[in-house]
Amino acid sequence: MLSPSYWNDRAEPVSVGGRGGAWFVDADQGGMVLRMYRRGGVAARLSESRYLFTGWHRTRSYREFQVLSQLYQIGLPVPEPVAASACQSGLFYQAAILIRRIPDAVPLPEACELSKEAIWWEVGRTIRRFHDAGLDHVDLNCDNILVANGLVYVIDFDRCLFRKPGVEKRWTKRNLSRLYRSIEKRIDTVDITKPWQSLLAGYSKVAQS
d(CA 175, CA 140): 6
9 is a catalytic site residue: no
Q: Is residue 132 classed as helix, strand or coil in its secondary structure?
A: helix
Q: How far apart are the first and last CA of the chain?
A: 44
Residue-by-residue DSSP string for 45-101: HH-SS-EE-S-GGGSHHHHHHHHHHHHHHTT-S-PPEEEEEEEEETTEEEEEEEEEP
* Given the residues 26, 136, 139, 158, the one annotated as active site: 139
Backbone angles phi, psi at 176, to 5 degrees: -65, -40
CB-CB contact of 47 with 39 (8 Å): yes
Catalytic residue set? 139
